A and B are shown apart, each in its own frame.
Chain A
C-alpha cells in the first residue's frame, strides 16, 4: 500500500495513514490506550493527559497519543512502569476535588473515571488539603449538571459545538475555577439531544428521566431503531424489570432529543389498553371478540350492500413494513379494493423515490459542497442536520444554505441565500450557474458550486411541483450531485415500498393484469383489477357518499386537519387502530388498541432506503396488540387465509413477492436503480388545496415534534414549556 507509514506499538507493527494519531494506530494494532477526552466523534483535544505513551528516541519522556501524529518507523510503548505511575498520578489529580459520590451517581458502573481508578489501583491520596465544594445545577429541563463530578475533558462542550453546531455549553473561568456552563449560567435552551450526557465520561451530566432509575449492571438491553423520523437512528432500550428506563444511542451513534427522551410516550396514561366500541353514541371498553365481531359484521354488510370499493383504507407512516404490507394485503384481498393509501403523501416532493433518491447520510460530509435548499432540515431530520454540520466542522467542506430565517446552519454556512423559498432562490441561482449572472451571495454560491466536483443537495420536505423542474435543472448543472431528500416520518418510504398505494402493489409494481394475477395466485384469492382511489379521492368519495367505511391504521387525519372532522362524520363506519385515543379515534365506531414500536418486532425502511429491524423491549401494554396481528385476525374472521406466527413470517412473504426486498439484508440499502419507478415521471406526491396535513405540533419547534406520539412525551413537553426565565 502506498501512502502509509509503519508504526510499532508494543511490538505490534501496523501500517497506518500518515494522518493517523498514535491512538488510531494503537487501535489498529489492537492495543488499548486509556482515554478520557478523546472521542472518535471529535477533533483531538489533548486535555486529560491520561493517554500518554512513550516514544523511542523522543526528546520527551511522555507523549499524548491522542494528539500526536504517527511518523514512519515510530516505536511506541503504551505501558511501562513509568507510564503506569504517570497515569496513576493524573488520576490522583482528577480525584483531588472529585466528590467520590459513586453510590448515588447514575454513571457508576459505566464511568470511565471509576473504571480507570479501579484499573490503576489508586490507594490513599497524598492530597489532604481542603476539597472544593461545587454545587450541582438542576435548573434546566431534561438535563442535570453535577458540576463537581466534572473532569473538564471538554467533550460535552465540543460535541455541542463541533457535532451539533449549537454551542450551548462552554467553559467559563479558568484554571481550577474552570467549569462547563451555559451563557451566564442560565438554563439550557438548546436542542436537548442529550449528546453531551452520552459523551460525558463521568456522571457530571445526567438526565432527570434516568435519575435513580437503575444501575447499569441491572439492566437489559434491546437494540432497536428510532421511530420518530425518517433518519432511522439506531438505538438501545435499557429496561429494568421489563420497563424501559432509558434509551441510548447504539454504538455511540447520534440520537436527537425525540429519539433519546421521547420514548416515555409509551408509558403515557392515555395509552389504549382495551378495544373500544361505540354504544349509544359513546365509546366504551369491549373485549377483542366483541370489537372484532363489530368490525367484521359492519365491513361485511357494507361490502355486500355497496361493494368493496365503498370501503377505503388509510395506512401509517409509523407502522412496520410488515404491518404496512399486511394492511394493503388486507384491503386488497380481504376487503377486495385498491382503495389503500396514506395521507402522508400530501405535499411530499414530486420526484421523491423517482428522481430524488437519497444517498447514504454518512456520505454527506464527503462532498465538496453541501447545498441545503431547506433551512428546516436540521429540525425535521436531525441526523441529516448533524451530517451537514460534520461536513463543515469536521471535514471543512462548504455549506450553501437557502434560508429566510436564522438557525444553527446559518452560523456555519459559507454562503447564505436569504430567500423565502427554494424556488425563489433557484430562480436566481440557475442563471448564475448557467451564464454567470447574479451578484452577492448568489454569485458566491454559483462560484462555489462551479468549483465543486461533488455536491450534496438537500431536498426540502415540501417542494412545489414547479420547483421540482428547477431542482432537476440544477442537478443537471452540477458535477457529482447526490440528492438527500428530507423525509419527515419514520417509515414513510417503507409504507410506499410496501404498496400502501392505490395504484401499486408492493415494490412499485403497477396495478396491471400481470401483477394482479401474480399476487392473486400467491395470495390465493381474487383481487381487484382497477387502481383504487388515492387518499384525497377517498375523502371526496366520503363526502359524496360513495365510500361508506374507512379503516385507518395509525393515522390521525382529524387531528392534523380539523376540517376533515365533518368529512369523517359522514362515514357509516370507521375503524381506527392506534395506540392513543386520537381526534380521529374519538370519532370511530371501533377503536382497536395497537402497541408502540417499543413493544413489537418488525422492520422499518429509513429515508436512505435502509432496512432496519426493531425489537420489543417491553410486553404489550394491557390488551393491546401489534397492528400486524390485529389485521390478520380481522382478515381471518373475514374469510382470508392469513397465518403468520411473527413478523418474520410476513417478511418471508415480502421477500418472495417484492424484488426490491428479495435479498435486502437488514442493515442494507436497496439500490435506487432497482426501483421500477427510477427515473420515471411518476408522482408519488398528492396535491390538495383544501386538505391540510399539518403536523400535530408539540411546540413551536419542529425539532421536538413528531406527531401524536411526541405530544405524549413528558420529557419533550417539559422542553417546550421550560422557558428561560425572564
Chain B
C-alpha cells in the first residue's frame, strides 16, 4: 500500500509549510469547503472511519452528534496526549507533518461547526510544542487558519495546550477538565462531550491519527477510503512496534494486517532468532497475546474476538527470555502510578496489586498469591469510573491466564529482581 498518513514524514523539513505545500498539504481544504458541512460529516460516515485513540468509536457518528446540537460556540479538541505505554504513532505526525493534522482539524471544525480548536499535547513531548506552534503560526500567515479561510467565510482558530504529565488526561473527559484548568480526572457522562464538553459547550475530541485521516477521506471520497484494509474498520493504520524485533518502528499498513505479517515481514522477526513469547497488541491496557494468536488481524473486531483489543495499535513484542511476572509488575506499577485516584476500585485496587507484585519481585511471594491477584482483579472489575481501572487489571489477568508457570516459578524460587 502506498503511504498516506506517513507520506510526508520521511521528507526532510516537511513540518515547514512551504515544503508541506509542495507535497500536497492543505489540498483537501477547498474541496471540503465546497461541500456543505453535513456532507463532510456524511463523507466521513461513508468512510466508516473509527477513532484511532483507542476506543474505536465511529468518527462520523461522533461528529454528527455534535453537529446536530444547536448553538454557535463549539470546540474541536485534538487528543495528542499519547500516553499509553508503547505508543509512538502520533509523535511522528506531530514532529514531521503537523500540517496534515492542522488541515484535518480545519476540515473537522468546518464539519461540526466549531471555530475553535485546541491540540492537547502530551507534556513529555517538549519538542513537539515548538514545532506545532511554528506550524500554526505559518498556517495563520498563509491563511489556512484564522478568519475567512481561503476566502470562503470559514473561521478556525487553533492553539496548543500542553498537558501536565498525567496519563489519565488522555481520557477525553479528563482532558477537558485539564484543559479547563481543573484537576485531571474524568467527568461523569452524560452529559457527553458532544452536547456539553469543554466549558459546557458541544465538543468533539479526536485522536491525532484520526484527524490526520480526514484530508484523505475528503480527497479520495469516503467510498474509496472504505475499500482500504479491514471491512469493519477500514483505512490505513499506524502500528508502532517495539520490543524484541529486528526492526522496531512505526509502520503504516492497511487496517487488519495480521500480527504475523507485522512482526515477521515488516519488522524482520524476533531479534537474535529467539522464540516469541508474548505480544501486547495495542498498548499497556490491552490483554497480552501469545504465539498462538499470531494470525489475528490487527483491527478492532478481530482483536476483540481474539480476547484482546487494538487500543492505540502499539505492538510490544517479547521473546522467550522475558519473565511475564516482571512484565505485569511494570505495567501494574504504571497504572498504580497513573490512577487518578478518583474512584475506589482503581485507586485502592491498583495500589494493592502493586504491593503484591512488589513482594513477588522481592522474592517474598506466598502460596496463594496468584489467587489473591485474581481476587483483587475481580474486586476491581466492572466497577471503575473510567476505562483506566479496567485496563489496569488486563496485564494481570492475561499474564496469569497464559503464563501461570512464570508466577508459580517465581513464588517457589523466591528470586529477587529489580
Contacts and interface: CB of A to CB of B under 8 A. Distances in A.
Interface string A137-164: 0000000000000011010000000000
Interface stretch (A60-68, A432-440, A504-512): A60-68
Interface stretch (B288-296, B304-312, B350-358): B350-358
Interface in B330-379: 336-345, 347-352, 355-356, 359, 372, 375, 378-379
Contacts of B168: 174
A72 to B, nearest CB: 15
Nearest to A396: B200
Given A152-B341, A176-B339, A46 B379 contact: no
Given A173-B341, A176-B339, A67 B356 contact: no
Given A93-B352, A96-B348, A129-B352, A175 B383 contact: no
B184 to A, nearest CB: 8
Interface string B243-264: 0000000000000000000000
A178 B347 contact: yes
A474 interface: no
A175 B375 CA distance: 20
Given A45-B188, A90-B345, A129-B356, A174 B340 contact: yes
A224 to B, nearest CB: 38
Interface stretch (A47-55, A443-451, A475-483, A570-578): A47-55
A177 B383 contact: no
A126 B375 contact: yes
A60 B383 CA distance: 9
A396 B199 CA distance: 12
B341 A171 contact: yes
Given A49-B385, A61-B382, A175-B350, A94 B344 contact: yes
A44 interface: yes
B393 interface: no
Contacts of A178: 340-341, 347
B383 A52 contact: yes
B355 A86 contact: no
A395 B47 CA distance: 41
A163 B212 CA distance: 43
A177 B341 contact: yes
Contacts of A151: 344
Contacts of A396: 200
Contacts, number: 95
Nearest to B379: A89
A152 B340 CA distance: 12
Given A129-B355, A175-B350, A69 B183 contact: no
Given A86-B383, A96-B348, A126-B372, A176 B343 contact: no
B30 to A, nearest CB: 38
Contacts of B351: 96, 175-176
Contact of B337 (A45, A46, A61, A175): A175
Contacts of A653: none
A360 interface: no
A44 B340 contact: no
Nearest to B168: A174
Contacts of B347: 152, 175-176, 178
A79 interface: no
Nearest to B345: A49
A118 interface: no
B190 interface: yes
A61 B347 CA distance: 20
Contact of B382 (A62, A92, A129, A170): A62
Contacts of A57: none
Nearest to A19: B190
A473 B184 CA distance: 47
A442 B345 CA distance: 50
Given A126-B375, A175-B337, A175-B339, A47 B385 contact: yes
Nearest to A21: B188
A130 interface: yes
Nearest to B339: A175
A171 B340 CA distance: 10
B128 interface: no
Interface in B155-191: 166, 168, 183-184, 188, 190
A644 interface: no
Nearest to B351: A176
Interface residues of A, number: 38
A93 B341 contact: no
Nearest to B354: A176
A177 B336 CA distance: 10
Contacts of B355: 129-130
B29 to A, nearest CB: 36
B192 to A, nearest CB: 11
Given A48-B344, A93-B352, A174 B166 contact: yes
Contact of B340 (A48, A60, A92, A175): A175
Contact of A127 (B184, B200, B341, B352): B352
A94 B348 contact: yes
A60 B382 contact: yes
Contact of A129 (B343, B359, B378, B379): B359
A226 to B, nearest CB: 34
Interface string A373-408: 000000000000000000000001000000000000
Contacts of B339: 174-176
A323 B340 CA distance: 57
A465 B168 CA distance: 57
Contacts of B344: 47-50, 90, 93-94, 151-152
Nearest to A62: B382
B352 A90 contact: no
Contacts of A60: 382
A173 B379 CA distance: 24
Interface in A69-127: 69, 86, 89-90, 92-94, 96-97, 126-127
Nearest to A52: B383
Contacts of A67: 188
Nearest to A90: B344
A175 B188 contact: no
A178 B190 CA distance: 25
A176 B184 CA distance: 15
A175 B382 contact: no
Nearest to B189: A67
Nearest to B188: A67
Nearest to A66: B188
Interface in A170-186: 170-171, 173-178
A55 to B, nearest CB: 13
Given A47-B385, A49-B385, A129-B352, A175 B338 contact: yes
Which of A62, A86, A175 has most B Cβ within 10 Å? A175
A97 to B, nearest CB: 8
Contact of A93 (B338, B372, B379, B385): B379
A90 B384 CA distance: 10
A93 B359 CA distance: 19
B183 A170 contact: yes
A415 to B, nearest CB: 17
Contact of B341 (A61, A62, A64, A176): A176
B398 to A, nearest CB: 19
Given A47-B385, A126-B372, A175-B340, A96 B345 contact: no
Contacts of A49: 343-345, 383-385
B81 to A, nearest CB: 15
9 contacts: A49-B343, A50-B344, A52-B383, A62-B383, A86-B383, A90-B379, A176-B339, A176-B341, A176-B351
Interface of B: 166, 168, 183-184, 188, 190, 200, 336-345, 347-352, 355-356, 359, 372, 375, 378-379, 382-385
Given A96-B352, A151-B344, A176-B336, 14 more contacts: A47-B344, A64-B385, A89-B378, A90-B383, A92-B379, A93-B348, A129-B356, A171-B183, A175-B340, A175-B351, A176-B339, A176-B347, A178-B341, A178-B347
- Enumerate the 3 nearest inter-chain pairs by beta-carbon distance, A residue then B residue, closest first: A178-B341, A93-B348, A176-B351
